[in-house]
Structure 1
Amino acid sequence: MQTKNPEALTDLLQGRRVLMLSGHTHTVARYQHPLKDGFLHELVAGAACGSWWTGEKDVFGIPAALMSCGSPRNYFEVEVADTSFRLTFKGIGLDSGHQMHVWVAGHDTIDKQVADLDTVPGGTVLATIYAGFDQTAVWMQLDDEAPVRMNHVKRVAPLVARVAAFNKSNVYPTKHSTRLPLRSRPSNHVWQAQVPLNKKWHRIRIFAEDACGFKADGYYLFE
């Protein structure tokens, strides 16, 4: 949120529970603005066209349109009851349970062509949780081990790093597609953890929740 007189605005809203919905940036973001009494929660809701309906087209002619925060094109469902609310992210054309992208360093040979990913230490796990923000609690569970808390980090989402690298090397755009205008900008909703390399693992589970009723659950399966 950007305004010339933020103090006057927060003074006006004291004692209220406010949900502010905004857009225009073609990104997804959430911010909790401090109030002495009550709260002001801002949701930047992304866009149904993603990054301006650009990028590599699939067999149906639909462009990837990945947004610079690492989220797919989307909309939100907002449930309001009395003075509480619940936010649900919905990726367009995706199952409702698809709430994140999980990436593990060294597990996809395509990343040998992406300098920003090829240099990430082995065993690093990055979870791009599309509707998460800095107050979302995120855990990683390896097989049946006890879950561990993931760290919120400011870094480029792995899928964005791939697109930016392939744009730079002229791999993208291919014929009949348009260039997806992504640059290597840090995302607000990436979490990081480390997988021990001294043991063979079969499954990673990532799960998240926060005080706004947001919940997400995702998996990464090893070979």
Structure 2
Amino acid sequence: MDRSCSRAPRRRAVSGIVALGLAMTALTALPAAACSGRVFLDHDGDGRHDRGEPGLAGVAVSDGHTLVRTGADGRYRLPRGTALHFVVKPAGYVLGRRADGLPAHWARARGACADFALREDPRPAGELRVLLFADSQTRDAQEVEWFRRGIVERARITVSETVIRAGDGAGSTLPSRITVSDTVIPPALGVTLGDITNDDPALYPQLIEAVTSLGLPWLHAPGNHDVDLAAPADAGSLASFHAAFGPDTYAWEEAEASFIVFDDVIWQPYPGRKYIGGLREDQFAFLAAYLRDLPDDRPLVLAAHMPFFDDEPGIQTFRPADRERLFALLQRFEHVLLLTAHGHVQRHFFHEAGTGWHGARPLHEYNAGAACGSYWSGPLDADGIPLSTMADGTPKGWGELRLRGDGAYGLRWFIAEAASDPDTALALHAPQVLRRGSWPGQAVVANVFMGRADTRVEYRIDDGEWMPMVRVDQPDPRLLAENLRDDAAEELRAYDRLPEAAPSTHLWRGRLPTDLAAGEHRIEVRVRDPWRGEDIATTRYRLVDRDR
């Protein structure tokens, strides 16, 4: 025994602030003691371990750096007892909810590690439906209310009705596709891809209340607008996020896939660019430890905020060395899907050797559009919510992922405009009238919200032959028209005007013939999507004879 520990402490008068500082110095100087806890099967669902409730063996528990597995009795031991820690929810089980409605998959050790209560999952394995929100990015209580009514409530109605049709995959270079029956499958999980709020963590409780009202376990990744702006360095920049949502990097398992949700924002608060995409050493340690035990054919879904590709030529969005290191960890897996956000536009990117991916086939990254659209801007719709069309012409809304255990998956975008069908796949723009016999330089333009470079888009006039449309990199003329209306208005049409239209990656163009009979002509545009099958949209234009 160290007898010095038994001596009475010398009494000194110190201020409360100094005493607190001394206490914190003492705590940080001492190594954190290890702690232990248990993962058990909670038969009665009360969240407490009772006699007769067995421990669950082989379940992963982590502090975000070290990963351990429970023993035969469900016990685990972590080396750092003061750390925030979490259980990797195993497939076939469900977790209880915290007081705020979020999953009870994490805790902060206060002298002991937590016990994690699991129950058997009644959902049959086979196909998983996941709701995807990105960039809700609310600045105040008004925008939280718009998010609740304009996104959450519309999603609540839509998810109970929508059926994804079977795609034929014709002409697609996608690594996999999904064929879905006509059965409505309820969603079983929700994920928010960062920028939950817009630099105001005080809004987190209201945003949590909104998403948890859907009754799903909801996972959150932090974004660049979820950092604490006063933080002097990346370390400690997510204190508010941790307090509300728990770990910033963690895993979650369903029967169909493993989900890895992580922070990929490196906060660098000095003059110039405040952040860049990247990963920390502790995150690489966790990822390596978790992935090591997974079989090669286990589907992986990685959810983060910052895109892994460069947003603009010559400007790094994500640190190349970190991207290559991450991709090296993923390379052996046969089925990997990346989900990101941040850009307030909608894109699909396929990584190959040029971005550090050396897998057997291109790595698909779905860069999702924003729930807030263009930052809650533009005129109000019929429900009093800003239209907030994004700069690429995509309406604000939310995404949906469906996937199976064989790696097949399907993605879709739902639009949140009061006057539109939320399942609308494309929007058309065409002139209303043209002079018959004029040079056929005017066109119908189709914005296919989930379009990719290999998407087949065709059009026909009246009952004529189907003709291919040409993909173009240009602004959506529908948004350009709104820009001109804003320019011409002598007063603001809304609190904030819509963004300046930017070139879209999912726009197609087809020339309109002018050598047809005078009168009205129907334009049909069809899209063949490997995930949702065929969609058709129609509009009209008139040909008139005109004398000089």
Which is worse superposed, 4-13 or 147-156?
A: 4-13
Residue 362 of structure 2 aligns to a residue whose secondary structure is strand
Q: Gapped runs of 5+ residues in structure 2?
A: 1-308, 311-317, 353-357, 435-439, 543-548
Percent identity of equivalent pairs: 26
1:41 correspondence with 2:364: yes
Aligned partner of residue 38 in structure 1, secondary structure: coil
Cα distance in 1 for residues equivalent to 2:474 and 2:526: 20
Larger-gyration structure (1/2): 2
| CA-CA distance at 1:211 after TM superposition | 4.4
Distance 1:26 1:214 in 2: 26
Q: Does 1:24 align with 2:342?
A: yes
* Residue 40 (structure 1) shift: 1.2
Aligned to 1:180: 497
Superposed displacement of residue 170, structure 1: 3.4
Measure the CA separation in 2 of the matches of 1:27 and 1:129. 13
For 2:409, give the aligned amino acid: F
Cross-structure match for 1:205: 524
- For 2:65, the equivalent position in structure 1 comes to none
Which of these residues, 405, 429, 432, is aligned with residue 103 of structure 1? 429
1:67 to 390, 399, 406: 390
TM-score by length of 1: 0.82
**Contact 2:392 2:501 survives alignment (8 Å):** no
CA separation of 1:152 and 1:211: change in aligned 2, threshold 3 A: same
Deviation digits for residues 88-130 of structure 1 (CA, Å, limit 9, x no counterpart): 11111431442111111x3179xxxxxxxxxxx6531111111
Letter of the aligned partner of 1:99 in structure 2? A
Note if contact 1:167-1:173 (Cα within 8 Å) is conserved in structure 2. Answer: yes
| Change beyond 3 A, Cα 1:172–1:161 | farther
**Paired position in structure 2 for 1:166:** 485
Displacement over 6 Å in runs of 4+: none
> In 1, Cα distance between the equivalents of 2:411 and 2:324?
27
Measure the CA separation in 2 of the matches of 1:134 and 1:100. 15
1:221 is aligned, of 527, 540, 548, to 540
Cα distance, 1:163 vs. partner?
2.1
Number of the residue aligned with 1:85: 409
1:131 maps to which of 450, 453, 469: 450
Asked whether the 8 Å contact 1:14–1:38 carries over to 2, the reply is no
CA contact (8 A) 1:28 1:131 kept: yes
CA distance in 2, matches of 1:12, 1:122: 50
Kept in 1, the 8 Å contact 2:393–2:478? The answer is yes
- For the residue of structure 2 that corresponds to 1:145, the secondary structure is coil
Q: Determine if contact 2:433/2:541 at 8 Å carries over to the other structure.
A: no
Structure with more relative contact order (C-alpha pairs < 8 Å, separation 6 or more): 1
* 1:38 Cα deviation from its structure 2 partner: 2.6
User: 2:337–2:365: 8 Å Cα contact kept in structure 1?
Assistant: yes
Other structure's SS at 1:168 match? helix
TM-superposed deviation, 1:8: 4.3
> Which has the larger helix fraction?
2
What SS class does the counterpart of residue 188 from structure 1 fall into? Answer: coil
Indicate the larger mover: 206-215 or 196-205: 206-215
Matched-pair contact (CA < 8 Å) for 1:138–1:191: yes
Whether 1:149 and 2:468 are equivalent positions in the alignment is: yes
In 1: Cα distance, 2:442 partner to 2:448 partner = 19
- 1:76 and 2:408 aligned: no
Q: Match for 1:90: what amino acid?
A: F
User: Contact 1:138 / 1:207 at 8 angstroms: preserved in 2?
Assistant: yes
Cα distance, 1:185 vs structure 2: 1.5
Deviates more, 1:189-198 or 1:35-44: 35-44
Give how far 1:193 is off: 0.8
